[in-house]
Amino acid sequence: MQRTAGQTMLECHDLTRTYNEGPQDITVLDGLSLTVNAGERVAIVGSSGSGKTTLLNLLGGLDRPSRGEVRIAGESLLNLGETALGRFRNRHIGFVYQFHHLLAEFTAVENAALPLIVRGQRKKDAEASALRLLEKVGMAARGDHKPGELSGGERQRVAIARALVTDPSLVLMDEPTGNLDQHTAAGILALMDELAHTAACAFVIVTHDPALAAHQDRVLRLDDGRLSEQPREP
């Protein structure tokens, strides 16, 4: 997709999510708004249980809001049925889950190639692209290993490669560097910078890591179901 830095990539208004399970309803997100431009990187911080994963799931079309709407690349997710939504996510969104969600039976290369296979690409081409991404996250030498043979941080890096392999417009990451040492995390940051600058990719990154948050263009705090701008440390 042709993207230009500064164009609106993600927009949501009045986003509300109430969970109706158990004896009482809990409203986790309450009339939240957010706009992210192409090429922009936004960090979301907030205490445990404040709703960060809930928010990413809504932004990524993995869950539906109780009220409000999410627009990505101009398209309202409300207008898409399940099949169309699946296709849209494959085309536009890269998702790095809080817990990596790799397929245990598949190797690192096969896992990273999967979104391209789903798209209908030939296995050989998809795996060549996957290997290029694995190289960028420092995992090329482990391409033939299955998740069970990899460390937590290595699995996380394979999950990052899988999220980026499709050249997504929007990348949503839930604690992407939680398991990574400083040097490896710096490599992932450099890759994100490159994608934001050269591919005008937009990022929304949930993190507890102050260094990762400070590296983004904006830091927003999720509190009481809404986002507010977090002032920069002097």
Ligand X SMILES: Nc1ncnc2c1ncn2[C@@H]1O[C@H](COP(=O)(O)OP(=O)(O)OP(=O)(O)O)[C@@H](O)[C@H]1O
Q: Which residues bind ligand X (CB under 6 A)?
A: 19, 21, 28, 46, 48-54, 98
Closest to Mg ion by CB, 39 or 225: 225
Closest to ligand X by CB, 50 or 216: 50
Q: How far is the CB of 99 from ligand X (least distance, A)?
A: 10
CA dist 205 and 42 (Å) reads 6
Question: How many residues are present in the chain?
Answer: 234
Instruction: Point out which residues pair with 226 in neighbouring strands.
Output: 223
Three-state helix/strand/coil letters over 116-153: HHHCCCCHHHHHHHHHHHHHHCCCHHHCCCCHHHCCHH
Structure tokens at 223: 């509190």
CA dist 161 and 82 (Å) reads 25
Does 54 help bind Mg ion (rule: CB under 5 A)? no
Strands 226-229 and 218-223: antiparallel
Per-residue contact flags (x/-) with Mg ion for residues 97 to 116, judged by CB under 5 A: -x------------------
Q: How far is the CB of 145 from ligand X (least distance, A)?
A: 27
Q: How far is the CB of 27 from ligand X (least distance, A)?
A: 9
Closest to ligand X by CB, 67 or 91: 67
- Give 156-201 as a DSSP string: HHHHHHHHHTT--SEEEEESTTTT--HHHHHHHHHHHHHHHHHS--
CA dist 64 and 196 (Å) reads 27
Identified binder of Mg ion from the candidate list 53, 107, 177, 216, rule CB under 5 A: 53
Closest to ligand X by CB, 62 or 199: 62
Q: How far is the CB of 56 from ligand X (least distance, A)?
A: 8
Structure tokens at 131: 């290997």
**50 is in the binding site of which of ligand X, Mg ion, none (Cβ under 5 to 8 A by kind)?**
ligand X
Positions 139 through 198 that interact with Mg ion (CB under 5 A):
none
Size of the site for Mg ion (CB under 5 A): 3
Q: How far is the CB of 185 from ligand X (least distance, A)?
A: 18
Closest to ligand X by CB, 47 or 79: 47
For 99, other C-beta atoms within 10 Å of its C-beta total 13
Closest to ligand X by CB, 2 or 48: 48
Q: How far is the CB of 20 from ligand X (least distance, A)?
A: 8
Contacts with Mg ion by CB under 5 A lie at: 52-53, 98
